[in-house]
Amino acid sequence: MNEEPLKTPVPGGAPVEQVVGGQSIQKINAKAEWICEPTPAPKPRAALNSVTAQELLGSEAAGFEPPVDWFEPLEDDDYDNESLAGESERSESVAGSEKLFKKIYKFPMPRRKRSQRDEGWDQWSILGEGWKRKEVVRRSGSSIGQKDVYYLSPRGDRVRSRVELISVMEGQLDLSTFDYKSGKFYNGEVQPVRIRHRAKRKVRERSSSESSWMERGDGADTPDSHTTSTPSLGPKNLQTSRFLNSAGGTLNKDSRDEHPPAGETNKLPLPSSSRPLPSINGEIGSEDDILVCARCGISFTGTWYDKQRKRPCCPNCWAASKSKEHPLIRFRKGPGSAAFVPQKPYNDIPDVYEDSLSFQSEFAESQHPSLKSSDTENFSVNVDVDVDDDDDDDMSTDDDDDWHKKRKRRACGECKACLCRKDCGTCDFCVDKPKFGGSNKKRQKCRLRQCQRQAMRHLLPYQKGLRQHWPDGQLLPGRPRPHYTYSRKSDFKKSRESQDGLDFTDNEDDDCNIKPINWTTASAGGSTYLFGLDVKNQLPSTQLDTMDLQLANGLPDGVPHISVNHNNSKPITQIFSLAENPPSGGADIDNQLMTLLQSLRSSAMPIMWYAIMVEGPQLQLIQCSKQSSLSDTIVLIDPGFCYQVTVQKQPLLPTHPLYDRYPARLTSVTEVVGLLLGLEDYVVCQGLPPKEPLSDSNLIILERASTCDFLVNKKVSVCTNCKALRGL
């Protein structure tokens, strides 16, 4: 999918050329090109990938000098219709400019045009010809008002830190006396030591704050086997110490202290009267507009707007609007009122998922039977109790809350993924990380560390290439990855079967984040990640929700490992793909079921049928292809080799004709295969729409008769019993 096969992790500490401080730009374009050029691509194209249009004009379209403000944003107010989404208010003008530019020059443009990309860059020739610099004031979040300085290299590298700058410079310039923030050299001058007024936030404070302490990189450790330039990302990451020692420690920023006075523990901006205006250093600030705060009426400089970006809002009012609640504590609506619970003892936290069974029991464990708060780490976690005080003010916390919720909700802090401290080092997101030699394009948390409950679905582990490989039953080559599996326990089942209710909660964006992720409700679109397994729900019924499906990790080169636990109360004890190579090692020879299982494993089996052994023992054969019309069908074989077929966990009626066509006991591979092949003649009964559609929903819910056959001949999509129910 991406270019990682051509990127080798860099042993040692020195970043290679491609890895320019995490902002590699050399191979951004189509992967075909990249594949042809495993070594850094020619600079012109690299530049085109990330250079600004403005820069192109300057460097390539010689002679054309656009007006100074050619790419300058119009007034933010001009884009009122773009209410949300950060800087989108500016994208229009930029996009328009880009079109114009394209039209005139027919240059290949960067793949993407980010609105801020071309804006606000100042020539910064002190670093060399073509260098640019820009300051960006944070517009939201608890660090609002903070300024970030970026540099843009002539090649288009967007540099975010001193370390990156040094890396990008590749020694072309001695930066030992360069102050990153101010962008100036202090040759021979002794810089006053900048005093940090801001008290360092304590771990405790942090962990009980709104921030989900787990959600951040927070010590995502690097597996040793993958260690490249960053052996560890612990709290004391020494990776950059050599830079800091040579520069950061002795070299200092401009002497003007822009930190809040002592006692101000958060980073909210100070009133403009006491705080330096957002513009600094003359030339930088000179382009800022003088604005009048729509709230308090004071004049201020900069680009501060309310959340809708419609009206100017001075930093002070920004702060005021945020301080209605503690900026570091969020509450969320929900049952119970406890805001914080002690977190699982840290020493129970796995470094990685080591095997399938550890993951299998995840949801049982997530009940946290042991909540020792005496642990040395004593983590706490926000349980997301939301008070959701609706705010009338439109610069207000409504958006702010939304923003915060969105920003903060992707980690429950409790699930195994959240508690996992180590990056796997092999998933696509890990491979993208600079510390693993990646180019930092995706910038996402390790898939295995994505919260099982709250992470966005597309970030969860999944089977890369699933769709290419599974329909035809081909398994990917390569060493099997550890599969993690788990079964949901009966609480899940209970909640579903006891009610006729249809729970379509797609919890991705609502507040139901206390329960485990609801895998089975998502069926829209082409990408349904059921924590890995993409299952097509034939029928959004309660029955579906009782399906208990779980698939292994989503590592790009992983062999799909499927484990499906149909029976909620039976832990999976053995997981085998029928197509998998026989594993070495002995099984329980005495167990005849196991013998059958092993025979099955070494036999050619119908496509996408997998076998697992669950406690009982019980041998289960599961159709794991979502494309299959039998995708929710399971054959259960008990130790006496009697079997039962279930569809979406519903057993077929004993009178089902299927049972007449096949032996009552499945004692051999032949018999098993015969049944599985015979099943292919069936499809799952679709059910029929109710007579009275749901009032408040545009969903079409299909219902089945209680005597539904579940499996019907392929030519019929609905069984006779369901038809009878509708009088058909």
Partner DNA sequence: GCCAACGTTGGC
Show contacts with Zn ion in window 313-372 (CB under 5 A): none
Q: Is 293 in the site for Zn ion (CB under 5 A)?
A: no
Q: Which residues contact 600 (CB under 8 A, 6 or more apart)?
A: 576, 578, 611, 621, 669, 672
Q: Is 231 in the site for DNA (CB under 7 A)?
A: no
- Report the residue from 133, 155, 253, 656 that binds DNA according to the rule CB under 7 A: 253
Show contacts with DNA in window 33-92 (CB under 7 A): 49-50, 84-88, 91
- Report the residue from 213, 470, 576, 641 that binds DNA according to the rule CB under 7 A: 213
- Report the residue from 6, 16, 173, 244 that binds DNA according to the rule CB under 7 A: 244
Minimum CB separation of residue 410 from DNA in Å reads: 4
Minimum CB separation of residue 116 from DNA in Å reads: 3
Nearer to DNA among residue 441 and residue 726 (C-beta): 441
Show contacts with DNA in window 677-706 (CB under 7 A): none
Among the residue ranges 238-246, 566-574, 622-630, 702-710, the one whose residues contact DNA (CB under 7 A) = 238-246
Return the one option of Zn ion, DNA, none that residue 153 interacts with (CB less than 5 to 8 A, by type). Answer: none
Q: What is the DSSP letter of 521?
A: G
Q: Is 561 in the site for DNA (CB under 7 A)?
A: no
- C-beta of residue 206 within 8 angstroms of C-beta of residue 435: no
- Report the residue from 153, 230, 308, 567 that binds DNA according to the rule CB under 7 A: 230
Show contacts with Zn ion in window 240-269 (CB under 5 A): none
Show contacts with Zn ion in window 130-149 (CB under 5 A): none
- C-beta of residue 380 within 8 angstroms of C-beta of residue 340: yes
Show contacts with Zn ion in window 653-682 (CB under 5 A): none
Which amino acid is residue 538, in one-letter code? Q
Q: Distance of CA 218 to CAs 214, 215, 419, Å? A: 6, 7, 10
Minimum CB separation of residue 531 from Zn ion in Å reads: 12
Show contacts with DNA in window 83-142 (CB under 7 A): 84-88, 91, 94-95, 98, 110-117, 136, 138-142
Q: Is 209 in the site for DNA (CB under 7 A)?
A: yes
Q: Is 344 in the site for DNA (CB under 7 A)?
A: no
Nearer to DNA among residue 113 and residue 493 (C-beta): 113
Return the one option of Zn ion, DNA, none that residue 412 interacts with (CB less than 5 to 8 A, by type). Answer: Zn ion
Q: Which of 461, 380, 375 is nearest to 423 (CA)?
A: 461
Among the residue ranges 438-446, 519-527, 579-587, 687-695, the one whose residues contact Zn ion (CB under 5 A) = 438-446
Nearer to DNA among residue 140 and residue 177 (C-beta): 140
Minimum CB separation of residue 407 from DNA in Å reads: 3
SS3 sequence of 7-28: CCCCCCCCCCCCCCCCCCCCCC
Show contacts with DNA in window 564-593 (CB under 7 A): none
Minimum CB separation of residue 282 from DNA in Å reads: 19
Q: Residues 73-103, buried b or exposed e (16+ Cβ, 10 A)?
A: beebeebeebeeeebebbbbbbeebbeebee
Q: Is 450 in the site for DNA (CB under 7 A)?
A: yes
Nearer to DNA among residue 513 and residue 543 (C-beta): 513
User: What's CA 494's distance to the chain center, in Å?
Assistant: 30
Minimum CB separation of residue 548 from DNA in Å reads: 24
Minimum CB separation of residue 424 from Zn ion in Å reads: 3
> Cβ-count burial of 162 within 10 angstroms (0-12 exposed, 13-18 middle, 19+ buried)?
buried
Q: Is 460 in the site for Zn ion (CB under 5 A)?
A: no
Alpha helix ranges (H) inside 203-261: 203-207, 241-243
Minimum CB separation of residue 223 from DNA in Å reads: 13
Q: Which residues contact 640 (CB under 8 A, 6 or more apart)?
A: 665
Nearer to DNA among residue 221 and residue 548 (C-beta): 221
Q: What are phi and psi of 654, to 5 degrees?
A: -55, -20
Q: Is 324 in the site for DNA (CB under 7 A)?
A: no
Q: Is 456 in the site for DNA (CB under 7 A)?
A: yes
Minimum CB separation of residue 488 from Zn ion in Å reads: 15
Dmax over CA atoms of the chain, in Å, equals 94
Minimum CB separation of residue 452 from Zn ion in Å reads: 5
Among the residue ranges 81-89, 315-323, 377-385, 447-455, the one whose residues contact Zn ion (CB under 5 A) = 447-455
Minimum CB separation of residue 426 from DNA in Å reads: 14
Show contacts with DNA in window 147-176 (CB under 7 A): 148, 150, 158, 160-164
Nearer to Zn ion among residue 162 and residue 422 (C-beta): 422
Show contacts with DNA in window 390-419 (CB under 7 A): 404, 406-411
CA distance 411 to 387: 19
Q: Distance of CA 142 to CAs 11, 176, 210, 466, 496, Å? A: 37, 32, 10, 40, 40
Show contacts with DNA in window 494-533 (CB under 7 A): 525-527
State in Å, rounded, how far the first CA of the chain is from the last one. Answer: 49
- C-beta of residue 278 within 8 angstroms of C-beta of residue 304: yes
Q: What are phi and psi of 703, to 5 degrees?
A: -120, 155
Q: What are phi and psi of 257, to 5 degrees?
A: -90, 120
Minimum CB separation of residue 249 from Zn ion in Å reads: 33
The token duo for 370 is 């042991």
Show contacts with Zn ion in window 408-437 (CB under 5 A): 412, 415, 418, 423-424, 427, 430
DSSP 139-170: -SSTTTT-EEEEEE-TT--EE-SHHHHHHHHT
- C-beta of residue 484 within 8 angstroms of C-beta of residue 355: yes
The token duo for 559 is 């062999």
Nearer to DNA among residue 208 and residue 623 (C-beta): 208
Minimum CB separation of residue 427 from Zn ion in Å reads: 3
Alpha helix ranges (H) inside 175-258: 203-207, 241-243
Number of residues near Zn ion (by CB under 5 A): 10
> Cβ-count burial of 315 within 10 angstroms (0-12 exposed, 13-18 middle, 19+ buried)?
buried
CA distance 356 to 333: 34
Minimum CB separation of residue 183 from DNA in Å reads: 11
CA distance 314 to 23: 33
- Report the residue from 94, 270, 280, 451 that binds Zn ion according to the rule CB under 5 A: 451
Q: Is 300 in the site for DNA (CB under 7 A)?
A: no
Nearer to Zn ion among residue 357 and residue 424 (C-beta): 424
Q: Is 383 in the site for Zn ion (CB under 5 A)?
A: no
Number of residues near DNA (by CB under 7 A): 102
Cα angle 18, 23, 26; round to 5: 45
Return the one option of Zn ion, DNA, none that residue 418 interacts with (CB less than 5 to 8 A, by type). Answer: Zn ion
- C-beta of residue 150 within 8 angstroms of C-beta of residue 52: no
Binding site for Zn ion (CB under 5 A): 412, 415, 418, 423-424, 427, 430, 446, 451, 453
